[in-house]
Amino acid sequence: MKKSEKEILDLMEIQLSDNVKARIIDAGQLNKYRKDDTGIDICSQKNTYEYLKNL
């Protein structure tokens, strides 16, 4: 796997793991908040910044 491919996959994983103010987009456009029972906040914006800063 190329370095750029790994970076893209890493960034996608960071984005999909976000649970801070995350919403579920559905056909009815209810856009309810996504519930997470882990109690650990994962903010993709901060994590993406840290990831890119450390490249």
**C-alpha R_g of the chain:** 14
| Total structural domains within the chain | 1
Q: Which domain holds residue 45?
A: 3-53
Q: What is the tens place of the pLDDT at every residue in 7-20?
A: 999 999 999 999 99
pLDDT at 43: 95
Task: Determine the average pLDDT of the residues in 25-48.
Answer: 92
Q: Could you tell me the CA-to-CA distances from 30 to 6, 23, 34, 41, 48 in Å, in that order?
A: 34, 9, 12, 23, 27
pLDDT at 38: 86
Instruction: Report the predicted TM-score, pTM, of the whole model to 2 decimal places.
Output: 0.78
Which of the pair, 37 or 51, is modelled with greater confidence? 51
Phi and psi at residue 33, to the nearest 5°: -65, 140
pLDDT at 52: 98
